Amino acid sequence: MAVKAPLWRPRPTLGGRDYTSEAVFADEREHVWWGHWVCIGRAEEIANPGDFLVRDLAGESIILTRNQDGRVRAFYNVCSHRGTKLLDDEPACGHVRKAFKCPYHAWSFDLDGRLIGSPNVDEDEAFDRDDYPLHAIAAEAYAGFLFVHLGPEPEPLLDSLRDGIEIITNFERYRMDELRVGVRIVYEVKANWKIVVENFNECLHCPTIHPELVQVVPLYRFGEVWDDESQDDGNWMVEGATSFTMTGQSTLPKFPDLRPDDYRMYFGTYQFPNLMLNLHPDAGMSYLALPRGPGHTTVVSEYLFRPETIAAPDFAPEPVVEFWDLISKQDWEVCERAQTGVGSRAYRAGVYPRQDRFLFAFNEHYRRVMGRPLIG
């Protein structure tokens, strides 16, 4: 006799102020964005020693670079002399030969953050340069993604990546560290970052919002995210489809050495707090959500391919990009509509039916990180 699943008890959503309040966003900065491992970009952006990129993480400007040994290093974008901002936000990437120089008083710091030049300090002063390095931040790379942690004693990155019901470490067979960005699209979404994440993790909206998508992934017609049976929570594409496009086809070469079923499946996975990853037989696509405030999220969408695929003269990513760009714009429009609604004085909290169970799991993870009691 089949065992019936336990009856789902409707759970409440987060409250309206969790999506709109400046005070809540300030609390999130401390607990989520500055007290947790957060994805900040792709390692290829700093491929060589001296390459750097500047990122804004919930209001803190960060420099990421590689030292002479090729190790990823990260620092606050602040001179240790008198707090001057070292590097401009635009352009957000570049290269230095050996050192970063402050534009104010010309203090210079090497690629490990050590102070190596302080021209306004006399030789007879009791001044030890070793006491005034750049303010360092924990930084590591995994699967080609760069992660930073602004807290004082971060847990190991892999422990953090494996803490959740969805984890990107299940997909090492895709050799994501070898993939490269072929196309990048940046969206400015007038919605809270949690609304963006929640939209990614459910498909009750798919039959209404994504009529093109449900033609490629039949399960989505029923509002389900996955069937609880396929390996790694993947979704079967429609019969005959081998790519994530309008037609289910593309001229892109398939990724090598995947499992046989992978060539007929789409995988979507989420890594708390801001990395949403989509994997197909011939391409990957990531969303990176970067909050600008309680009602504004920058979403960086990057399309990932094998380097030899990008280098080929017949490289044609357009069918994949155009399909995902359509889906993205459909999502952002409804996310902005949701943001307007949760800001109403009438809204206190909503409800999660069973098909929203993964959103409730995200909310519980969020509560735990924020130091709030769990609902269970």
For residue range 101-133, list pLDDT tens digits in order.
999 999 999 999 999 999 988 877 888 899 999
Domains 11-16+167-369 and 38-154 share a fold: no
Cβ density class 19-41: b for 16+ within 10 Å, e for less: bbbeebbeebbebbbbbbbbbbb
pLDDT tens for residues 198-223? 999 999 999 999 999 999 999 999 88
Report pLDDT digits (tens) over 154-186: 999 999 999 988 889 999 999 999 999 999 999
Pick the CATH number of 38-154 from 1.10.760.10, 2.102.10.10, 2.60.40.1930, 3.30.110.40: 2.102.10.10
**What is the spatial distance between Cα 20 and Cα 82, in angstroms, rounded to a whole number?**
35
pLDDT at 227 over 90: no
**What is the residue extent of each domain of the chain?**
11-16+167-369, 38-154
d(CA 24, CA 231): 37
Q: Which of 161, 160, 138 is nearest to 150 (CA)?
A: 138
Looking at every residue in the chain, the average pLDDT score rounds to 94
| CATH architecture, domain 11-16+167-369 | Alpha-Beta Complex (3.90)
- Both structure tokens of 157: 């990155």
Give dist(CA 158, CA 98) in Å, integer. 31
- Residues of the chain with pLDDT > 90, as a percent, come to 87
* 213: CB partners within 8 A, 6+ apart: 206, 220, 327
Q: What is the pTM of this model?
A: 0.94
Beta bridge partners of 188: 298
pLDDT of residue 232: 74
For residue 181, is it left (φ>0), alpha (ψ between -120 and 50) or beta?
Answer: beta
